[in-house]
A and B are shown apart, each in its own frame.
Chain A
Amino acid sequence: MTAQALVPREKKIAQKRIALTGNHAVALAVKMCRPDVIAAYPITPQTPVVEKLAEYVNNGELDAEYIPVESEHSAMSAVIGASAMGARTFTETSSQGLMHMYENLPIAVGLRLPIVMGVAARTISAPINVWGDYSDVMTMRELGWIIYIVQNAQEAFDTIIQAYRVAEDQRVHLPAVVAYDGFWTSHVLQPLDVPEDEEDVIRFSPITRSWVKLDVDKPLQLGAVGTPEWYWEIRWQAVEALRESLKVIEEIDREFDKWFGRSYGLFDTYRLEDAELAIVTYGSIYGLVKKVVNRLREEGVKAGALRLRVIRPWPGDKLRKALDNIEKVFVIDRAINHGGPLIGPMATEVAATLQRPVYNALATIGMRAIDSDMIYEAAVKVAKGLWAPNQTYTIGLRGGYE
């Protein structure tokens, strides 16, 4: 279940340890997955990904068509076109770029195209802020994309490879997005293990080309008019496929483990088994949260942590099993659910899953820096009953609700 398994696994493929930023780890994983077509538009903080991919293509290290499009709307459109033609595709975006793509995001789902996209998560305007939080990714939740939120460069690298396998699986045929913290992951140099032989990646994740595509020998129409007599049934197939993908995601994660010696599960847990207080979060701040758990344990508070990794499809049953017996579930959200039942989107979903009130605070909005002390103080307030469930709290906001 955890990234750093206690028992060393037998590693089937030879790997070497290198240092890369999260962005360059993603670019390297994409290169090893051999996409046929990349269409991209630069936006902070993902730009180094598309720069690196352009470099790979222009240096002859990656044989792909690189389309330097004129906007993110066109980036998503171009990968939809290329994927519809049967190509393995990649694009990457952030923030306003994702918003500019928005119209085409559900279309990739409806056409059942296995596009893989990276998102270096960044907050949204206004005011303009190029730094990280998850306000962009959270807007994709209702569209039918598979959504991974990863913790570090290693996991970003591994998840890109897994995502191609999942998206192109015959039971799935859906687009997938791999999101990671803008700057805190995208721009920080981290050690990671990568296969010595790049061929191993394509062996693990071969291009299936099994999805429905444009073929002059077998003409068909993609994206026909779906009248009220047909639309729902066709869309429902995408709903079912996303539900089915939960199983596929787990299956491929386990197989990845056998090949690469690493697996992540649908979510990650830490000292949760006998916990009375669980801190739930996502992305790179999980490291700080684990530190807080240790400190609370030393002080006699039975704390544990859970990191959401796959948020679409939502692993409800498993989350319920992991959190049902824990008295206080405290979700630290990194995106605002404006005017929602709870101020954070993931807290809302966790509360709906557990069918009981949860504690919720917002942190890191617009990349407001936090440290483990601040998380610790918030967790203590929850533990001591100073904070109530179903209320709005903030960590690090001047004049906020604390």
Chain B
Amino acid sequence: MVKTAVKAAEEYEGQYEYATFELPNEELFLPGHGLCAGCTIGVIARHMLKVFGPDTVIINPTGCAEVSTVVYPRTNWAVPWIHVAFGNGGSVASGIEAAIKALKRRGVIDPNRRINVVVFAGDGGTADIGFQALSGMLERGHKVIYVMYDNEGYMNTGIQRSGTTPFGASTTTSPAGKVVPGNIRHKKPMAAIAAAHGIPYVATANPAYVHDMVYKFKKAMEVNGPSFIHILQSCTPGWRFEPKYAIRVLELATETGYWVNYEIENGEFRVTLPVPRRKHVKCFLQLQGRFRHLKPDEIEYIQKVIDRDVEEINRLMGREVIGPLDPSLPCLTERK
């Protein structure tokens, strides 16, 4: 029977323990890319390759990461890399994984060599146009690591809404107008959808918490079967914040409970980054131009949705891992 039901991890001890492992000094995501100042795609790609190492094939569907890292004749990838189209990351990876299996049997590739097949795709290429290919790949059980960087819109084509654009966000195809206050749908829950395929490893991550993120890369690499990692990625032009806040805005996403870092390992759900007390969601929203038009009651509605989601996560965990809303917490704390 396929395991699709999610339950709390039995051995949860209230504190997530990271196994320590050393990241190599070697850089496989090379400097000199064309990503925007303050774009966190680079942070994700660089750490991802440090974990996956040189025996990795990257499948990169159309998106910001693709157009800004491989403008011929330059490249920022020191590993084999392929782009085919926008909507087929999952199926190109399926073919590559199958080819590796066949070529190992034929002795063309050393059968003892482990080659990581990694799809690095944005939210449009994953949640929208690439959804079918992703679902097929997960359902067929190809041993592929699918890393989705989610900047919550079609940022490559200039800030249009995608299936993961949050409620209230103003984009060029969900503009904040007089009648409609921006995007009126909620984010598509991609990690939960991936988990429903009954695959061995699913996680959400946030580049502001690098330890948590790299540990998830390592786990995804070690499972036998497909894995899916949904990573929130801040986008300067799309979210409209000053580049210096690239990490700060991601921290606020977690601190407000807007984004929860968790993993689902063989159907066992575990929050990997507990938040003892939550900041008000306005802390996350007010740093970004895309929510500037929201009225107080719309912000309160978003807060209510988060409260409900947090309640659901705590219920699933059987204890309070994401703490109560504490309006006394300052939005931005000074750092030394």
A residues lining the B interface (CB < 8 Å): 36-37, 39, 63-65, 67-71, 73-75, 77-87, 89, 103-104, 107, 111, 209, 214-216, 219-227, 230, 234
Contact = CB atoms under 8 A, between A and B. Distances in A.
Contacts of B81: 214, 219-222
Interface string B124-152: 00000000110110011000000000000
Contacts of B102: 36-37, 63-65, 82, 87
30 contacts: A36-B103, A36-B106, A37-B99, A37-B102, A63-B102, A63-B105, A64-B102, A67-B98, A70-B91, A70-B135, A70-B136, A73-B91, A77-B85, A79-B95, A81-B59, A83-B95, A85-B57, A86-B108, A104-B85, A107-B84, A209-B108, A216-B54, A216-B113, A221-B70, A223-B83, A224-B72, A225-B71, A226-B72, A230-B72, A234-B72
Contacts of A82: 95-96, 98-99, 102
B330 interface: no
B140 A68 contact: yes
A225 to B, nearest CB: 5
A81 B85 CA distance: 11
Given A39-B94, A230-B72, A81 B79 contact: no
B56 A37 contact: no
Nearest to A38: B98
B95 A37 contact: yes
Which A-B residue pairs are the 9 nearest by beta carbons? A81-B95, A78-B95, A74-B91, A70-B136, A85-B99, A77-B88, A65-B98, A223-B83, A77-B91
A221 B75 CA distance: 8
B90 interface: yes
Nearest to A39: B95
A39 B96 CA distance: 11
B55 interface: yes
Contacts of B67: 225
Nearest to A68: B140
Given A65-B101, A85-B96, A222-B81, A74 B57 contact: no
A234 B71 CA distance: 13
A81 B103 contact: no
A223 B82 contact: yes
Interface in B63-94: 66-67, 70-73, 75, 77-85, 87-88, 90-94
Interface string B167-194: 0000000000000000000000000000
A37 B78 CA distance: 27
Contacts of B57: 85, 214, 216
Contacts of B135: 70
A77 B95 contact: yes
Given A73-B87, A225-B66, A81 B94 contact: yes
Interface in B22-65: 54-57, 59
A103 B92 CA distance: 13
B294 interface: no
Given A74-B90, A74-B133, A214-B80, A225 B54 contact: no
Interface of B: 54-57, 59, 66-67, 70-73, 75, 77-85, 87-88, 90-96, 98-103, 105-106, 108, 113, 115, 132-133, 135-136, 139-140
Contact of B82 (A67, A222, A225): A222
A81 B132 contact: no
B103 A77 contact: no
Which of A39, A70, A81, A104 neighbours the largest number of chain B CB atoms within 10 Å of its CB? A81
A364 B48 CA distance: 56
Given A214-B80, A224-B75, A227-B71, A80 B99 contact: no
Which of B79, B82, B91 neighbours the largest number of chain A CB atoms within 10 Å of its CB? B91
A104 B99 contact: no
A249 B20 CA distance: 58
Given A37-B102, A214-B81, A222-B83, 18 more contacts: A37-B95, A39-B98, A65-B102, A74-B132, A75-B91, A77-B133, A81-B59, A81-B91, A82-B95, A83-B95, A84-B82, A84-B95, A85-B96, A104-B84, A107-B85, A215-B80, A224-B72, A224-B75
A73 B98 contact: no
A69 B78 contact: no
B115 A84 contact: no
Which of B55, B70, B96, B98 neighbours the largest number of chain A CB atoms within 10 Å of its CB? B98
B71 A224 contact: yes
A186 B35 CA distance: 51
A214 B96 contact: yes
Which of B108, B113, B136 neighbours the largest number of chain A CB atoms within 10 Å of its CB? B136
A83 B84 CA distance: 12
Contact of A78 (B77, B80, B94): B94
Contacts of A220: 80-81
A74 B80 contact: no
Given A70-B135, A221-B70, A86 B99 contact: yes
A212 to B, nearest CB: 11
A54 to B, nearest CB: 14
